[in-house]
Structure 1
Amino acid sequence: MDKKAILEEVKKLIAAGSVCPEAKKAGEDYLASIGTAEEKKAAEALIKELKEDVTSIDGLIAFASSPDGEKAFGKDTAEAVRKQAEEAKAKGEKICICEACRAAAVLLENQDLLLKL
């Protein structure tokens, strides 16, 4: 993965409908810091936030199966999300299948590169 690909993943994270406000801000702060003395500090903050936010596939299944998940997604969508998550788990997936978690996982897998940009 190169710098351009890392930056695209940060942009995917920020644009994801499922991103939490804290991760979105950390991503935006990182992009704004590129080329400044604050870049490494912003990268570290982004990585810290992503480590706190990435949900496991089991966590997604539990949430989608709960009253809170039904409230957040609506009954039919919660059921669909649960089924998709169970299918993904059966195929070996370990993390949540939402756009934000997928982008975060790529960034965390490449965090050494993110810190060196």
Structure 2
Amino acid sequence: MDKEVLDYAVEKTHELMSAPSCSNEAKAAAQTWLDSIGTDREAAETKKYIDELEADILPVDSLIGFAGSEAGIQVFGEETAKNIEAHAIEIKSAGEKYCDCPACAAVAAILSKKDVLLK
């Protein structure tokens, strides 16, 4: 694997794991992947990690729907939910496809190198 891309993915993986919005499943997959680097499990764990990241990244339309729902209001509180919904609408109108929270931003950065990581 290209060392520069690997180093980038490792850096973004640490950012992902540090993000408050990172799911437990993504943290576990990230740690398993980090632990596999340099071993005979690396290729298989990279594929599993990419699959987990693709499942976890939140499309902006889903964020808009959740933030504007009763469940979103229960999770975030009414004011924060309204702010998140407005922000999501704003980034969608600017062309974003995914949520831009720290976890999703790290995932998007890693996935941008997916083709090289999976080689």
Q: TM-score with structure 1 length normalisation?
A: 0.92
Q: 1:58 aligns with which of 44, 56, 61?
A: 61
Partner of 1:5: 8
Q: How far apart in 1 are the matches of 2:51 and 2:6?
A: 19
Q: 2:47 aligns with which of 28, 36, 44?
A: 44
Partner of 2:114: 111
Q: How far apart in 2 are the matches of 1:16 and 1:115?
A: 24
Q: 2:73 aligns with which of 59, 70, 73?
A: 70
CA offset at residue 2 of structure 1? 2.6
Q: 2:93 aligns with which of 87, 90, 102?
A: 90
What RMSD in Å do the two structures reach over aligned CA positions?
1.3
The reply on whether 1:24 has 2:27 as its aligned counterpart is yes
Q: Deviations over 1:31-72 (max 9, x none)?
A: 111111111111111111111111111110000000111111
Q: How far apart in 1 are the matches of 2:103 and 2:13?
A: 10
CA offset at residue 25 of structure 1? 0.5
Q: How far apart in 2 are the matches of 1:27 and 1:10?
A: 6
Q: How far apart in 1 are the matches of 2:44 and 2:94?
A: 37
Contact 2:67 2:84 in 1 (8 A): yes
- Runs of 4+ in structure 1 deviating by more than 4 angstroms, as ranges, are none
> Aligned pair count?
116
In the alignment, structure 2 segments of 5+ residues that lack a partner are none
Counterpart amino acid of residue 49 in structure 1 = E
Contact 2:5 2:113 in 1 (8 A): no
